[in-house]
Chain A
């Protein structure tokens, strides 16, 4: 056994030593490697990416290898690529996929403050508020994609109901006030509404923001004075009781079914009155593929939050040998409409045709298509036929007019409270879905939930977050 251990140790030392050896330096010709979620199986990928690489080469003097992965396996693949220390230059990151903060904590990304000085066009593209939102422990590590950053609650509902009762929806300012609309829909078909509540956006309609997300305890009022921010447990408030009681009332009134809905029943037929709560975004109604016509209504004000801004970012790898070039590349793609459109829609007259100056019609989506929110700047993109022509302008307006949250730019360090956070996550999981569905005895469930939060250590989370927020406020004054 000792022998095996020593062999293992020797072998591991070899592995370690080899890992530390510096890679060879090739100066003259080089290409940058960019990982992002896309559609790797599109037939014309090679052609389009080669064209893009040539365009970049002409402008910047180096080529780029674009490597798209399926979004579904993106996080898993990037985790391996990053943890194996592979050389690459840029990768896409977000809070939910290829976790931005976690990668920063793991020292996987290159700090950008210095680099951004060399690319003023990129720097000036986004406001200081937005750059601040990407900071982790004071440093910028990612370039946000210019897209919808403001967050507000949106209600997606079948158009046939909206046309008749839409005014009830327009009147609503927050979640609870939607009851009127539901009541009206229920007259058409009782017991069938599915509510799919996007929790974070729902909180925003009450001017609250969660600090660590994922429904964990710890929230603030976004409207708090920046010098006096108070962290509280959102589940431990009268507000939470009221919302959940209202929700239960809806079930009792027969607006919604008396059971746990399941994620798959959301996109059912229009007769099932699915009501989806989502982030509001101009143009969403015509972009989303429902099997029936939908209408979208913004409910409550829009806010600029850290999670909204960092929803989609591109970061430079700490292993990159060409960080200066990488930031130049990002500047180019963010500011030049031609390359950006090429990377999103493909080649003109092959994958799309122009309808007018800013509108296009895709003709071969099997050949090439990419998500428009991954690379670059959506405001530079053409608009697809059928989508409101001014949707980018409206988005920009929404971003510009959104009120910045008092916590914009703050990011919590979860390490000291990791145990409590994991504990609380399972408490939330246990009770939240039942409460959200409005079934069971709400009072008893909430009481039980609060009891469990106590043993899970929710108070410690609030305390620690308050400490971190106070420190952040002090350092930023």
Chain B
């Protein structure tokens, strides 16, 4: 039996190491190309280790400092506010969906699910937010419309379903109301699950560039990902412009800068991710406490 456990662990480790290498190597090549001199990049392509170290891409990125710092602040604010708000709204809702005692739970599940399938497209959404809610050029336009995400609510629902029925029943008999049951009992038990969903929500807010592009006009409210995205879009569009307008379009952003921006945009999230992990790993002990 013991040998079997060892074998399973060995296989697991091997599989995971293989996958991890497949995932790390490309990421490393992004980092390395952000540190490579441009001419080397075009001549030798991407490499795992830079052939010749060159920090000029980062220098350029950070001397352009103000906009980048602003972008970090904007992204951090939107991500923090969005994640907290979204977790509160989504978790409460998911809890009610997960309880069969709630008479509307099936109906509301469908109510939520329909929104995953049907959407009216961008135009009416844009009109609603800019002309009726007057959120154009406001950071709230990046937060409020995105608080509810059906996918994450369904994930939360599955975590709440795993909470033992008896625990909730017992509290109810003791006279606890649903708010207390949810925040006092269910939330701590499902902490591990909520933490994973929180990370997903956080990533959505962190990675969003489309809403920023649509709703924001003042550059001091540009988010990090939008800056990255517009850099990437720029390459494509400048090429179109050059051939269709016959125009001088200025400098096309260099490969190394694009990669450096990518690292600058993903870097903080990798750290936050590893910080949050203690909750997923802790999940084991929390889950086993009855």
Residues of A within 8 A of B (CB): 15, 18-19, 40-41, 43, 45, 67, 69-74, 76-77, 80, 83-86, 94-97, 147-148, 151, 198, 201, 263, 267-269, 271, 278-281, 283-284, 287-289, 291, 307-308, 311-312, 366, 369, 371-373
Contact = CB atoms under 8 A, between A and B. Distances in A.
Contacts of A268: 42-43
B160 to A, nearest CB: 26
Interface string B239-259: 111111111111110000000
B15 interface: no
B252 A73 contact: no
Contacts of A373: 245, 247-248
Contacts of B132: 15, 18
B225 to A, nearest CB: 12
A289 B246 contact: no
Interface in B9-60: 38-39, 42-43
A269 B252 contact: no
B274 interface: no
A76 B214 contact: yes
B246 A84 contact: no
Contacts of A372: 248
Contacts of B241: 71, 96-97
Contact of B230 (A70, A86, A279, A280): A70
Nearest to A152: B246
B123 interface: yes
A97 B237 contact: yes
Given A71-B237, A84-B123, A41 B247 contact: no
A148 B241 CA distance: 13
Most chain A Cβ neighbours within 10 Å, of B124, B214, B245: B245
Contact of B246 (A40, A69, A73, A281): A281
B39 A269 contact: yes
> Which of A71, A96, A312 has most B Cβ within 10 Å?
A71
B251 A96 contact: no
Nearest to A373: B247
Nearest to B233: A72
Interface in B126-182: 126-128, 130-132
A95 B236 CA distance: 16
Nearest to B42: A268
B239 A263 contact: yes
A346 to B, nearest CB: 14
10 contacts: A40-B219, A41-B67, A67-B217, A77-B213, A86-B131, A97-B237, A147-B247, A284-B246, A288-B242, A373-B248
Contact of B126 (A80, A201, A283, A288): A80
A59 B238 CA distance: 35
A269 B67 contact: no
Interface residues of B, number: 43
A69 to B, nearest CB: 8
A198 B243 contact: yes
Contacts of A307: 244
B238 A71 contact: yes
A37 to B, nearest CB: 9
Contact of B245 (A72, A84, A94, A271): A94
B64 interface: yes
A72 B246 contact: no
Contacts of B222: 40-41
- What are the 4 tightest A-B residue pairs by CB atom distance, in nearest-first order? A72-B233, A279-B246, A287-B248, A373-B247
Contact of A19 (B67, B127, B237, B251): B127
Contacts of B244: 94-96, 307, 311
A148 B244 CA distance: 11
Nearest to B64: A366
A426 to B, nearest CB: 19
B122 to A, nearest CB: 7
Contacts of A267: 42, 252
A80 B248 contact: no
Contacts of A74: 237
Nearest to A265: B42
Nearest to A266: B239
Contacts of B285: none
Contact of B213 (A76, A279, A291): A76
A311 B246 contact: yes
Interface in B48-101: 64, 66-67
A159 to B, nearest CB: 17
Contacts of A85: 127, 131
Contacts of B43: 268-269, 271
Contact of A278 (B126, B130, B243): B243
B234 interface: yes
Contacts of A76: 213-214
Given A71-B238, A72-B234, A288 B248 contact: yes
